[in-house]
Amino acid sequence: QHAPNTADNKQAIVHLFEWRWADIAAECERFLGPYGFGGVQVSPPNENRVITSPNRPWWERYQPISYHLNTRSGNDEDFKDMVHRCNEQGVRIYVDVVINHMCGAGGSGHGTGGSYFNTDSLEFSGVPFGANDFNDCGTCGTSDCNIHNYGDANQVRNCRLVALLDLKLSSDYVRGKIADYLNYLISIGVAGFRVDAAKHMWPGDMAAIFGRLSDLNTAYFPSGSRPFIFMEVIDLGGEAISSSEYTHLGRITEFKYGMQLGYVFRKQNGQKLAHLANFGEGWGMQLDNNALVFVDNHDNQRGHGAGGQSILTFRDSRLYKMANAFMLAFPYGFVRMMSSFYWDQWWEGGKDKNDWIGPPADGSGNTMGVSINNMGTCDNGWMCEHRWRQNRNMVTFRNVAAGHGMYNWWDNGNNQIAFSRGDRAFIAINNEDWSALDATLQTGLSSGDYCDVISGDLSNGGCTGKTITVGGDGRAHIHIAGDDEDPIIAIHADSKV
Ligand code: AAO
């Protein structure tokens, strides 16, 4: 289904990429619950192949060996404990499910949970899957069984994505094993699924699997609740497969969104902020209710997937905060924030040769815990973009504005914009290089003093940042210098001083 099953109609989730289950449980209690985050997308929890060359890359988790919950993030008990503790805080868990394929061709061994596999005999004893459970090269039609032409829908769905052994989802047995895995996760209390590589599966096969899913666990959800489904379909246009083929099943990851936001904030391709007034559907993206939107994801922040050089990440922190603020303020799509780990890039020939580096780990390859410093941000190599004040406070903004459309759009014809969300919230952004935004603008809000949640917090009735005064006519004088570190002002009904 398209609705995210969040508690209290909360409006945004965060991808805690590669975090351990114990750290996510703690984060739900100490941060995500209190700050109004609706949920967490977690890395694939099922047993994966152990890759040692390169050494323990992040992408080994996209090579399933079985559906036992045993990975570098933790085991079955850790996972259950996390789901329970997060739900208790009103924070939902969405699982990244890798069901299009098993691991890459070549070799045999044991997965992170100890299950045996052999990619020549196609044996995956932990499921079990065998030779009959995979698409053969005949069905695929290319000489090496791999996808070569994204212009051919049959290849994209029946051949191997980057040599990953392609499951035969037309088989009743295979569908049953996958449905059992998803239903096990549902029984634990998850709220939905990010479906990996959905473009590489036939919509009909996916519909058959989703049709077998149980209702959500009534310990946490109203009876009859259905899992939230968002599918990874990369559709930038110009290929055989379009994201519209999937939208009857749930939302799709709208990759045009982050790519275009990157162009707009970087002022490339002739773009400027003034063009954002009809962002979303007006730009040829999916309908609001069909879209899951994000500035960057775990692939395109490191050159995998799609979006290329335009994608904004934590490395461009000033523009990144602006783009996140716009995304969280603008009424389009269901929002997912990215929370990353740091790695040193190594550029050669236009490619980062370190794009494989896995999460912060000790000498034995165990993922490090996330430690929080006294500024409330993270150490140990965890970026925690979701904890940056500017980002975290915009999640509250989106919750406060929920259900209210965009009003009072204003722009200077170039890179200064402002708008309100009904009478609930107001934002102004200045992305000019030098000139200040200096104008008296309609905020839509009732008169009073408001705390700007970008430069500070409302705390003990006082504002630690800028205070904005809204007059009886709803107008306020807004000043944002061109070289302001965070050239954004955001106020809302709950930030009234
Ligand atoms: C690893 C190794 C491989 C090895 C394999 C098996 O890197 O060399 O062959 O193991 O041994 C991740 C990593 C992979 C890794 C894999 C398994 O990214 O490097 O392979 O784990 O460990 C396509 C898919 C999309 C996929 C994306 C990465 O459609 O589903 O590639 N994303 C998901 C996950 C991702 C994961 C997997 C799937 C696999 O999020 O983390 O892979 O489970 C075009 C197509 C896209 C296609 C891209 C990239 O995009 O449209 O569908 O994505 O190409 O191949 C412009 C175009 C745009 C184009 C783009 C890139 O922007 O407009 O359309 O350029 O060319």
Instruction: Give the tens place of pLDDT for each residue, 249-294.
Output: 999 999 999 999 999 999 999 999 999 999 999 999 999 999 999 9
Q: State in Å: Cα 16 to ligand 1 middle.
A: 20
Tens of pLDDT, residue by residue over 15-61, are 999 999 999 999 999 999 999 999 999 999 999 999 999 999 999 99
**Containing H/E element for 469?**
strand 467-470
Q: What pLDDT is recorded for position 191?
A: 98
pLDDT digits (tens, 9 = 90+) for 93-152: 999 999 999 999 999 999 999 999 999 999 999 999 999 999 999 999 999 999 999 999
92: helix, strand or coil = strand
Which of 49, 52, 58, 62 is the pocket-test mutation for ligand 1 (most atoms within 8 Å of CB)?
Answer: 62
| Residues acting as catalytic residues | 196, 232
DSSP H stretches of helix in 56-151: 76-88, 137-140
Look at residue 317 and tell me whether its pLDDT is greater than 90: yes
Q: Tell me: pLDDT of 461 over 90.
A: no
For the chain, how long is the longest CA-to-CA vector?
A: 75
Q: 141 alpha carbon to ligand 1 midpoint, in Å?
A: 20
Question: CB of 310 closer than 6 A to ligand 1?
Answer: no
Average pLDDT over residues 401-413: 98
**Does 307 score more than 90 pLDDT?**
no
Atom 34, ligand 1: residue with shortest CA distance: 196
> Ligand 1 centre from 157 Cα, in Å?
14
Ligand 1 mean position to 451 CA, how many Å?
43
Query: Using CA positions, which residue lies closest to atom 20 of ligand 1?
Result: 162
Residues 6+ apart with CB under 8 A from 275: 264
Q: Is the pLDDT confidence value at 163 over 90?
A: yes
65 φ, ψ (degrees, to nearest 5): -115, -30
Residue nearest (by alpha carbon) to ligand 1 atom 50: 306
* Token code pair at residue 200: 């590489």
Q: Which residues contact 447 (CB under 8 A, 6 or more apart)?
A: 470, 471, 472, 474
Structure tokens at 440: 């008296």
User: Probe ligand 1: pick from 41, 161, 235, max atoms within 8 Å of CB?
Assistant: 161
Q: How confident is the model at residue 308 (pLDDT cuts 50, 70, 90)?
A: confident
Query: What is the number of the ligand 1 atom nearest to the C-alpha of 198?
Result: 30
**182 CA → ligand 1 middle, Å:** 23
Q: Considering the chain, what percentage of its residues have pLDDT values greater than 70?
A: 100
End-to-end CA distance of the chain: 39
Q: Which atom of ligand 1 is nearest to the CA of 164?
A: 6
Q: Is 195 in the pocket of ligand 1 (CB under 6 A)?
A: no
Q: What percent of the chain has pLDDT over 90?
A: 98
- pLDDT, tens digit, 9 for 90 and up, residues 164-183: 999 999 999 999 999 999 99
- Which atom belonging to ligand 1 lies closest to the Cα atom of 162? 9
**Which residues lie below 8 Å from residue 388, measured CB to CB, with a gap of 6+?**
321, 377
| Predicted confidence band of residue 216 (pLDDT cuts 50, 70, 90) | very high
Which secondary-structure segment (H or E) carries 451? Answer: strand 448-451
Cβ of 303 closer than 6 Å to ligand 1, yes or no, is no
Residue 196 Cβ < 6 Å to ligand 1: yes
- Whether the predicted pLDDT of 486 surpasses 90: yes
- Rounded to the nearest integer, the mean pLDDT of the chain is 97
> From the CA of 234, how far away is ligand 1's center (Å)?
10
Please, what's the b/e burial string for 16-54 (b: 16 or more CB within 10 A of its CB; e: otherwise)? bbbbbbbbbbbbbeebbbeebbbbbbbbbbbbbbbbeee
